[in-house]
Structure 1
């Protein structure tokens, strides 16, 4: 009788063990039940799926593309579970044409900072002067030493954002204590200097080996006045969006630490709840915009899903990521309407048309 009880106990433990493993597997599985696709690293081939396969509204695709063309777009892509559903080019642009990311490329710096921290090269909670030395700003030493790497990621360095794009020390002047004022500022590029110093190699070399080459991106950092701007094909931008949409993992290769990335795509400070580590966040009750100290009520992009987060660049360069829909959406081009630094009405109007397609 005792032996029988032991066998039953062992059997129950085995069943429980198998059940637990299945639960873990389900938790790791894509919410749609479909395995996430990653294009080859060493080729420009990319699997597709059709609008009809997804049961989307095919009659809404052409109006969406017409709108994009009318709004000075160069390219547009929609990925679903990693596969291309829509890929369109306008105005002579092709899948091999490079275009600038503008400030959407800030998120590339975000990714590299997380990688460097994971390697033990830096800590985002350390002050910037630990890596660059003192007098990298014009603030006095006490105020300069308040500025951490995290302040640069979160855009609350307290440095004066009204003095232009130049990030030389004489142009980085104190206006408020770090952490007390949110302002969109190009001082974030100092993080690239931090990485170069900490890794003992150039920013480009570290970026290429730790991110670009590992996910098959093309492109290059091009000097534009006082800072680097990333240029690449639309598909390379989509590769980065796909990586981030999968919590920083490419296939089985964890490239950006998932815990760091989770912090990056959530509110990073208490001044602008729609801002993470250079990622913009939808679904919040208030937001602030570049070159303004006004707090606006409502969501960043009311027509977009609440869980959307995005990289936004000058002249409407866009990476939209929607976890609940397994979507990555890319737009490159000239300004849709007027020149802007990040958000414009184009975002909301574009999502009105995307919704008509996918719902």
Structure 2
């Protein structure tokens, strides 16, 4: 009788322990969204996730040495890591969660989402000719070649515009010359992306900032604004937490909590899968990891590698100059944001991104 009672007690304890483990796992796996008022963000500790603290400290040292200003890691929406270093972009104040920084070409991925929302709102259709929104002669191409270009070609960087021109940022017609038919080549031509901002303003009859506020910021709690930096480029500036909010929106496939922001899942799927046959690692202005080959910016060579070999294969990334990164890894429930400077002047510092993930993956993949 005594042994039976002890066995029953052991069973009850085991069941309670199992239930506690299940509850802890459910807490980790449930997707959390911070409130829209920016006042609070629930956290988890690296210890709760069994992350190696010594490796984390090594990662922080690596980031600080490489001129990082902000580094955030979300696990299923909850803040696990939030670190700041250095000074603000202007002035002498220390960089913190309220400081603004530029997204550089990571803003391309934000634009892709805005275009998707505009199409869902029936403001535009990505299969329409660009000239429907900008009029004819928005380029210096022969008219029959200009008419081949659709909004989709701008999203996929396949306009066929000449990439040997002196200034790849220049969006005036005299800078947009013909090289090949639309849809027959991929090249990281910045001006052909920037023209999407003109398309968006024409189609919505709103400025970029007005549309971004109505379509995205008001629904996710993001802050930030578009700024013209050199007469051509439209660059998004925001706090690091807003970049994390954007990543969390993408992790949940365009839905914030229960509210659809980008509800067109066909568009979302096309945006986050290979969008053309030339660069398997590029969607609609998003970098796609885990593919068999990649063509990097300012190169015509296709190499047999993924974008970031040390990162999760299903990761998609918004990547910008000087190491502006917003990484979304659905298989791990991770959003990773890095903002800062870099001594590397590449449009997208691929090697730095790989080194970061080589260190981070050894911490998170347990």
Name the structure 1 match of 2:21.
Answer: none
Report the counterpart of residue 119 of structure 1 in structure 2.
121
Counterparts of 1:300 and 1:344, CA distance in 2: 7
Tell me what 1:26 maps to: none
The structural deviation recorded for 1:31 is 9.5
Partner of 1:12: none
Aligned twin of 2:208: 203
Name the residue aligned to 2:312: 305
- How far apart are the structure 1 equivalents of 2:111 and 2:237? 14
The equivalent residue for 2:244 is: 238
Match of 1:175 among 175, 179, 193: 179
Q: Is the 8 A contact 1:74 1:90 kept in 2?
A: yes
Residue 33 of structure 2 corresponds to 38
Aligned to 1:270: 277
Residue 221 of structure 1 aligns to a residue whose secondary structure is: strand
Q: Of the candidates 209, 212, 216, which is equivalent to residue 217 of structure 2?
A: 212
Equivalent in the alignment of 2:15: none
What TM-score do the two structures reach when normalised by structure 1? 0.89
Paired residues for 1:11-90 under 5 Å: 34-90=29-85
CA contact (8 A) 1:121 1:198 kept: yes
Displacement after TM superposition at 1:258 (Å): 2.5
- Is 1:345 paired with 2:351? yes
Give the secondary structure class of the aligned counterpart of 1:54: coil
| 2-structure distance, mates of 1:272, 1:221 | 28
The alpha-carbon distance between structure 1 residues 263 and 80, as it changes in their structure 2 partners (threshold 3 A), is same
Task: Find the aligned partners of 1:46 and 1:196 in 2 and give their Cα distance.
Answer: 33
Q: Which runs of 5+ in 1 are unaligned?
A: 1-29
Structure 1 residues 102-181: aligned runs within 5 Å: 102-163=104-165, 164=167, 165-181=169-185
How many angstroms apart in 2 are the aligned matches of 1:190 and 1:208?
Answer: 20
Decide whether the 8 Å contact of 1:289 with 1:343 is kept in 2. no
Work out whether residues 319 and 330 of structure 1, in 8 Å CA contact, stay in contact via their aligned partners in 2.
yes
Name the count of aligned residue pairs: 329
**CA displacement at 1:344 relative to structure 2:** 2.1
Shift of residue 35, structure 1, vs aligned partner: 1.9
Deviations 1:5-48 (CA, angstroms, capped at 9, x unpaired): xxxxxxxxxxxxxxxxxxxxxxxxx9987321111101231110
For residues 164 and 51 of structure 2, the distance between their equivalents in structure 1, rounded to whole angstroms, comes to: 45
Maintained 8 Å contact 1:316/1:340: no
Q: Which moved more, 1:337-346 or 1:128-137?
A: 337-346
- Gap change, CA 1:66 and 1:43, over 3 Å in 2: same
Is the counterpart of residue 325 in structure 1 residue 332 in structure 2? yes
Q: Which runs of 4+ in 1 moved over 6 A?
A: 30-33
Structural RMSD (CA): 1.4
Deviations 1:212-252 (A, max 9, x none): 12111111111111121011110000000100110000011
- Offset at residue 262 of structure 1 (A): 1.3
Alignment partner of 1:250 out of 256, 273, 291 = 256
Cα distance in 2 for residues equivalent to 1:37 and 1:45 = 12
Provide the secondary structure at the position in 1 that maps to 2:274: coil
d(CA) in 2 for partners of 1:190 and 1:223? 13
Report deviation, 1:137: 0.4
Q: Whole-Å Cα distance in 2 between the matches of residues 43 and 293 of structure 1?
A: 43
Whether contact under 8 Å (2:28, 2:75) holds in the other structure is no
Q: Cα deviation per residue 1:81-105 (whole Å; 9 max; x = unaligned)? A: 0000000001131111100000000
Matches of 2:164 and 2:250, distance apart in 1: 32
Alpha carbons of 1:37 and 1:181: their partners in 2 closer, same or farther (altered >3 Å)?
same
